[in-house]
Amino acid sequence: MRLMAIDILREQQSHTGNLRLVFPSSASLERPISENTINQALRRMGFEKHKATSHGFRATVPTLSNETGLWNADAIEAELAHVRGNAVRRACHRASYWEESVRMAEWWAEKIGEVLGEEDL
């Protein structure tokens, strides 16, 4: 699954070049695409409003991560950038949980693979 994620990111880079963001806004390359842009894409793919939203996908990660009991709640919040304060404080907070965040990302990739019915690549 890890290789699949890297392949997807490399494919995206072929479209965006060396921009800072993986999914930049069409209005400004320095800003990410909006929640509404993602929601519109979901509608075009056939997902109804009450079935899938961009925030719903983001909310799934901490919900399932917390339910497992495998991860420190602070690490989950840091992974989702739920830290108040200035940029230095946010970066330091995230760095405090780096190793756990890497393991959590690998775990999440495996879960996605299970849902998609794909074996670990």
Verify that 64 and 111 share a domain, yes or no.
yes
Count how many domains the chain has: 2
pLDDT band at 114 (very low <50, low <70, confident <90, very high): confident
The answer, yes or no, to whether residue 105 has pLDDT greater than 60, is yes
Tokens, residue 98: 């780096």
pLDDT band at 120 (very low <50, low <70, confident <90, very high): very low
Verify that 59 and 94 share a domain, yes or no.
yes
Verify that 100 and 62 share a domain, yes or no.
yes
pLDDT band at 90 (very low <50, low <70, confident <90, very high): low
Which range of residues forms the domain containing residue 17?
Answer: 7-51
Length of the chain: 121
**Residue 65, class by beta-carbon neighbours within 10 Å (0-12 exposed, 13-18 middle, 19+ buried)?**
buried
Verify that 113 and 58 share a domain, yes or no.
yes
Q: Is residue 103 part of a domain?
A: yes
Verify that 29 and 74 share a domain, yes or no.
no
Verify that 62 and 108 share a domain, yes or no.
yes
The answer, yes or no, to whether residue 2 has pLDDT greater than 60, is no
Verify that 87 and 108 share a domain, yes or no.
yes
